[in-house]
Structure 1
Amino acid sequence: MSLLVVGLSHRSAPVSILERASLPADTQAKLLQDSLAAEPAAEATVLATCNRIELYADVDKFHAGVAELSTLLAQHSGVGLDELTPYLYVHYEDRAVHHLFSVACGLDSMVVGEGQVLGQIKDALALGQELHTAGRLLNDLFQQALRVGKRAHSETGIDRAGQSLVTFGLEQLAQDTAVETWARGKRALVIGAGSMSSLAAATLARAGVAEIVVANRTLARAERLAEILAEPGGTGVTARAAEMVAVGDELRRADVVVSCTGATGLVLTGDAVAAAAEGRDEPLYLLDLAMPRDIDAAVHRIPGARLVDIESLADASADAPMAADVDQVRSIVSDEVAAFGAAQRAAHITPTVVALRTMAADVVASEVARLEGRLPGLDDKQRAEITQTVRRVVDKLLHAPTVRVKQLASEPGGAGYADALRTLFDLDPETVASVSRADLNDADVKNRGRV
């Protein structure tokens, strides 16, 4: 295993850099394809959220891998390498596994304990599988990260350590008032119809807003979300869809606005918000969850408007209290990292053990055939008994060393045992490689159906 992750997040980079470095879906696909075309990477997938961009790869050379992945991130993000490099972090092998498991558990999130990142990890794996850039290592890693994240949320109270970014943002808007009290009876405008916007709309509906207007570039998606919100079996709130061209009019009627789109430019300008906020008895509340930002940062200075965006959320969450459950989650992560490393090291030697047993079976078959040539009078029963006896002898001779070598290989520093086994028994490298390819193909077929 030579797992490498190169990335940047809200912990390493200012919001201004994260905004510029955001990766649209088509850019993510091109980044993965170019990563595999680069010599050091055999597998790759990208985890891109509103506050992190991370490129995961299986590399054969550490320094060359870091240089190549950093260059590719710079090229596809549009931020120059010299400017981007100070904000990049690098994790390798077990540290990379530890990092992803921590991310999956919400320990590295802007709001500790939030669970939305699990869906984003699932999407990252699905993209790698769809493009065939995620092989056995990344399939195993991301599948296990999802299981570790779910375990952390089910076995601990990490959810109490923080809330989802949506809930936390709404709490920041409400300040010292409960969200349910603050939101009751308000008219809400939700801009965007993706997963984050849908979650915001559902959260507002449960909090008791009177009406939700969903605006989206694709009207059909806005209509579908509005239908779901208004269904009797859903939230039951009054909801309708609007085209993006109507956002200005809807803004003037709204009390609270949540925006999270994939737009590369501003969706709401300072002038538009200033016009909508003028003359109100209560502030116009705006929550910007997009990266890059949807709402002009100048809104922070507009009288009659209160804006909470990714940057202000980062400042607020830095002071959020940590729950005692965080220590328990960290313990889970450490245990799972050790188990994953042991499993990967053990799996690394499996093709060699399989090749050894294949070679032994070939030797048995050859010797039995030679014996039949020298003793042509053997009947079927005698031949079967001799064959079975030889096989048992070989199995008994191989059992202890192959079991022990798997145990040794699973321990830290055990990677060299596979090389030693190949050398001692003069195993054909191509035979070992063919077993590895067969295992990889089987794993790929299985994992594509598990996401």
Structure 2
Amino acid sequence: MSLIVLGLSHHGAPIELLEAAVLDQGARGRLEAAIISSEHVVEAVVVSTCNRTEVYAEGLTFHGALADVSEALAAATGVPLTDLQPHLYVHYEDRGIAHAFSVAAGLDSMAVGEAQILGQLRDSLTRAQRRGHVGPALNTLLQQALRVGKRVHTETAIDDVSRSLVGAGLAAAAEVVGPIAAARVLVIGAGGMGALAATTVSQAGVPSVTIANRGLVRAERLASRVGGRALAWESRLEGLADADIVISSTGATGVVVTARDVEAAAVVRAGRPQVFVDLGLPHDVDLAVTDLDGITRIGLAELGEMLRHTGDVPQVQEARDIVTGEVAAYLTERSAEAVAPTVAALRSRAQQVVDDEMNRLSRRTPELADGDRAEVQRTVHRIVEKLLHAPTVRVKEMAQAGQGGSYAKALSELFDLDPREVSVVSTPPILPVTDDEEVGR
């Protein structure tokens, strides 16, 4: 079985296509169910955020799994496969593992280092676990990815970089409305990105921050944290006229601010310029607002262009170094685990040979004293242990170098081993040699 990651992200897909491919919780679960119904796939997890929609799958065959996942993704998003294919990326095995770790660390996000992806990835895994769509392979991989992501945020200052998305939006807005410290800001949405936006705005010294959210309690909680005020959802349009900058990130499937709403607010504003920083995917703010005088809309596409070079900062390189080391350690551990059944099978076979020969000796020499019989058994064990020492050590060394698979296969064929046999894990190992009987002495 092999890991396959297939998806599209802000790196190679236009925002319009990403918007069309966004899947809600229910759609993600249905897509996973459709994928694992394939004869070529046994596990699947779907992750869909404002930056990406991608599938992690454990496949029995590469080409069959790839074809079935691609077709299922097209059906789930309603986007023809011919339109999806030019923008899809595929990562296989080692590259898939590295991709998963990088995503969890925030290194693959539009706002490099953003921490929201950790929660989104965790939620996706939890949902897939609850519905029985994942097994040992993806469970292990994604739990390890979450651990790596937490480590990156704990051991590096990458969180400082993660504010870049909102920061870039504010910097661009300042060029239109003037100094941020004199601006009035309305944040629509109190989720992960909304909270990040409100916190960043507050830290920038904005004197007036208003939070509008579908749940007033959550808006009030966030407002109290940033020293702002909360606004009921049904009153959010009233806040438009007062705001010089509007930052929106709701996760809604349709626009929450229409051109008509903005036009009405513009009348009250009497010609004062207004900037909308739209962090939603699909977009929250009607694209037609840009046709109105004095209105500027900055969306994810524009912000992505502004942030193209954030990957060059030292904090990002530190995070990459951690991810690279974690990937190498994970691959080494997985390789060792892969050869472990072969090593166990080899020792189990040797144990069986020793037992058979000792039983035969007992039948042929019933008069042999117990002490002598015990000495013969120890001698046989030492011989077997010395014979097994080199191939056992060598297969483990090759596993650490990523070459254990072929050697393990050779051992299995040469000794006619079946690592899947239950007896392999239930048979006691060959007795270890004592300190004064170490191999090579």
Query: Shorter-normalised TM-score: what interval?
Result: 0.7 to 0.9
Establish whether residue 260 from structure 1 lines up as the match of residue 249 from structure 2. yes
Residue identity in the other structure for 1:42: V
Q: Give the counterpart letter for 2:212 in structure 1.
A: V
2:192 is the counterpart of 1:195:
yes
User: How far off its partner does 1:21 sit?
Assistant: 0.7
Map of 2:266 onto structure 1: 277
1:245 paired to 2:234? yes
Shift in alpha-carbon separation, 1:400–1:303, aligned structure 2, 3 A: same
Name the structure 1 match of 2:400: 410
Residue-by-residue CA offset, 1:210-238 (whole Å, 9 max, x unaligned): 3533321xx3xx313413542xxx44x24
Question: What stretches of structure 2 of length at least 5 have no aligned partner?
Answer: 426-441
- Counterparts of 1:406 and 1:131 in 2: how far apart (Å)? 37
1:342 to 332, 338, 352: 332
- Kindly report which structure 2 residues correspond to 1:365-380, keeping only aligned pairs within 5 A, or say none: 365-374=355-364
Distance 1:373 1:162, change over 3 A: same
CA 1:390–1:211 in structure 2 vs 1: closer, same or farther (change >3 Å)?
same
- Aligned equivalents of 2:423 and 2:173: distance in 1? 58
SS state at 1:134 partner: coil
Specify the structure having the higher radius of gyration (Cα). Answer: 2
Q: Is the 8 A contact 1:112 1:162 kept in 2?
A: yes
Structure-2 residue corresponding to 1:101: 101
Partner of 2:434: none
- Would the aligned equivalents of 2:173 and 2:245 in 1 still touch at CA under 8 Å? no
> Contact between 1:256 and 1:284, CA under 8 Å: does it hold in 2?
yes
| 1:46-445 pair list within 5 angstroms | 46-153=46-153, 158=158, 163-175=163-175, 181-183=181-183, 186=184, 188-191=186-189, 193-207=190-204, 208-216=206-214, 219=215, 222-227=216-221, 229-230=223-224, 234-235=225-226, 237-240=227-230, 242=232, 244-280=233-269, 282-318=272-308, 322-374=312-364, 390-428=380-418, 430-431=420-421
Contact 2:339 2:404 in 1 (8 A): no
Structure 1 residues 320 and 350: CA distance shift in structure 2, 3 A: closer
Deviates more, 1:74-83 or 1:303-312: 303-312
SS at 2:29's partner residue? helix
Question: CA 1:55 to 1:432, structure 2 compared with 1: closer, same or farther past 3 Å?
Answer: farther
**TM-fit CA distance, 1:359:** 3.3
User: 2:13 & 2:292 partners in 1: Cα distance?
Assistant: 27
One-letter identity of the residue aligned with 2:196 = L
Distance (whole Å) between structure 2 residues aligned to residue 211 and residue 318 of structure 1: 28
Displacement of 1:414 in angstroms is 3.6
Letter in 2 for 1:346: A
Report if the CA contact (8 A) 2:344-2:419 is conserved: no
Contact 2:115/2:162 (8 A) holds in 1: no
Does the CA contact (< 8 Å) of 1:270 and 1:298 recur in 2?
yes
Q: Which moved more, 1:398-407 or 1:137-146?
A: 137-146
Deviation at 1:20, TM superposition (A): 0.5
- Displacement of 1:173: 2.6
Q: Which deviates the most, 93-102 or 172-181?
A: 172-181
How many angstroms apart in 2 are the aligned matches of 1:393 and 1:429? 23
Correspondence for 2:42 = 42
Distance 2:402 2:160 in 1: 35
Q: Distance in 1 between matches of 2:266 and 2:424?
A: 67
- Name the counterpart of 1:30: 30
In 2 relative to 1, CA 335–317 (structure 1 residues): closer, same or farther, beyond 3 Å? same
Query: Is the CA contact 2:396–2:404 (under 8 Å) kept in the aligned structure 1?
Result: no
1:446 matched residue in structure 2: none
Amino acid at match of 1:210: S
Task: From the superposition, tell whether residues 366 and 305 of structure 1 become closer, same or farther in structure 2 (CA, over 3 Å).
Answer: same
> How far, CA to CA, are the matches of 2:124 and 2:323 in structure 1?
20
Per the alignment, residue 432 of structure 2 pairs with none
Change (3 A) 1:178 1:430: farther
Q: Which amino acid aligns with 1:313?
A: L
Displacement of 1:280 after TM fit? 1.5
Q: What is the deviation of 1:4?
A: 1.4
SS in 1 for 2:421: helix
For 1:407 and 1:178, the matched residues in 2 are separated by 63
- C-alpha displacement of 1:23: 0.9
Distance in 1, matches of 2:176 and 2:84, equals 38
Secondary structure of the structure 1 residue equivalent to 2:119: helix
**Do 1:171 and 1:179's aligned partners in 2 also have CA atoms closer than 8 Å?**
no
What TM-score results when the alignment is normalised by the length of structure 2?
0.83
| Distance in 2 between residues matched to 1:271 and 1:434, nearest whole Å | 72
2:18 counterpart letter in structure 1:
L
Query: Separation in 1 of the partners of 2:423 and 2:284?
Result: 50
Give the residue type in structure 1 aligned to 2:249. C
Deviation at 1:341, TM superposition (A): 2.5
* Displacement after TM superposition at 1:38 (Å): 1.2
